[in-house]
Amino acid sequence: MYAPDRYAAAAMSLTVVGSIAFDAVKTPFGERERMLGGAAVHFALAASFFADVRAVGPVGDDFGEEEYAVLHAKGVNTDDVEHVPGGKTFFWAGEYGWDLNDRVTLDTQLGVFADFEPKLSEASRASDFLFLANIQPDLQREVHAQCSNARFVAMDSMNFWIESARESLIETIRGVDALMLNDAELRQLTEKPNLVQAARELRAWGPRVIVAKQGEYGSALFTEDGFFALPAYPLETVIDPTGAGDSFAGGLVGYLAAHPDEELSNDLLRRAMAYGTAIASYNVEEFGTERVQRLTGDEVVGRVADLRRATAFADAPVPLR
């Protein structure tokens, strides 16, 4: 069992490249006009429980010490966060209805993200684990090329790139170890009617690991060794699902980085999914990064134990007719 707050002193280094943003979010339970967000932020905060994380992404003059302090408090290295003088940080505004699986984008201002050209330091390029968050597929490949010695590379994407840069996205996917998309995106990308067929097709393209994110219904894992599904943690309070998928990915990849000497087996991946699920469950209980900022290792371990109890059962065979 892990130490409660810093799980593995011998964990490998982990770099995440993606958006650093300000979000404005409204749900039936409240709203925030400006809060810290972005895929790289949510991923890094989740992964920081397990590994030394380096975040790479651009920010403008409006990104100040208060925002850096959130990352530094969790030990996230921000040396490669690029400050663009005179620029504005990426901004996204959205609204959720009572069905929190659906959201409407109200405003997107790319700001400094529009001209983002990832510049990785030697330390970031030397990371053992790499996560390519949701950015243009060509940029994802450029980053991967800079981290050619990474022992494990995972990536995310979205329907926009499937529709507008499909061939580039497929080329990027062919070079990674793990692909994490939601179930609708997996079907859209492969043009297959169900997840099993989609995952089989994608594994033939190159990735060893396919993870289907299914929102409030949990997640599913597909590898050469078989299939595994894990429900989402049952919650009474869900306030804001923004960043839940990136938090899940951060917990999963961070957990793998904490086990550098363990074979990439289904058992290891299943445990990683449980930790990612637990952290994501805390993420949605408050707006943005508010809850994860206060999250402790003990709380994460507690929910993983709950998930283990909820998904285990003893088989008692009976004669079947």
Strands (E), the chain: 13-17, 21-27, 30-37, 52-59, 81-83, 90-96, 103-109, 129-132, 152-156, 178-182, 209-213, 219-223, 226-230
Q: Distance between CA atoms of 38 and 275, rounded to whole angstroms?
A: 21
> How does strand 30-37 pair with strand 226-230?
unpaired
Q: Distance between CA atoms of 182 and 218, rounded to whole angstroms?
A: 10
Which of 279, 240, 253 lies closest to 92 in space, CA to CA? 240
* Residue type at position 252: L
CB-based contacts of 265-273 (< 8 A; 24+ apart in sequence) = 265/225, 266/221, 266/223, 266/225, 266/226, 266/228, 269/209, 269/221, 269/223, 269/228, 270/221, 270/228, 270/230, 273/211, 273/219, 273/221, 273/228, 273/230
Looking up tokens 């770099």, which residue turns up?
A: 15
Query: pLDDT tens digit string along 159-184?
Result: 999 999 999 999 999 999 999 999 99
Query: pLDDT tens digit string along 112-158?
Result: 999 999 989 999 999 999 999 999 999 999 999 999 889 999 999 99
* Residue type at position 97: G
Per-residue confidence at 320, pLDDT binned at 50, 70, 90?
confident
Confidence (pLDDT) at 34: 96
Structure tokens at 242: 């923004």
Q: What is the distance in angstroms between the CA of the first residue and the CA of the last residue of the chain?
A: 43
The reported pTM is 0.94
Confidence (pLDDT) at 1: 28
Residue 256 clears pLDDT 80, i.e. is over it: yes
Q: Distance between CA atoms of 188 and 182, rounded to whole angstroms?
A: 10
Which value, to the nearest 10 degrees, does the dihedral of the CA atoms of residues 133, 235, 75, 86 take? 50
Arithmetic mean of pLDDT, 284-291: 97
State percent of the chain over pLDDT 70: 97
Sign of the CA dihedral 72, 121, 181, 37?
positive
Domains of the chain: 13-309 (3.40.1190.20)
Confidence (pLDDT) at 10: 56
178, 197 Cβ separation under 8 angstroms: no
Confidence (pLDDT) at 122: 96
CB-based contacts of 1-8 (< 8 A; 24+ apart in sequence) = 1/301, 2/258, 2/297, 2/301, 3/297, 4/296, 4/297, 4/298, 4/301, 5/49, 5/296, 5/297, 5/298, 6/49, 6/297, 7/49, 7/50, 7/255, 7/258, 7/297, 8/50, 8/51, 8/258, 8/259
> How does strand 30-37 pair with strand 52-59?
unpaired
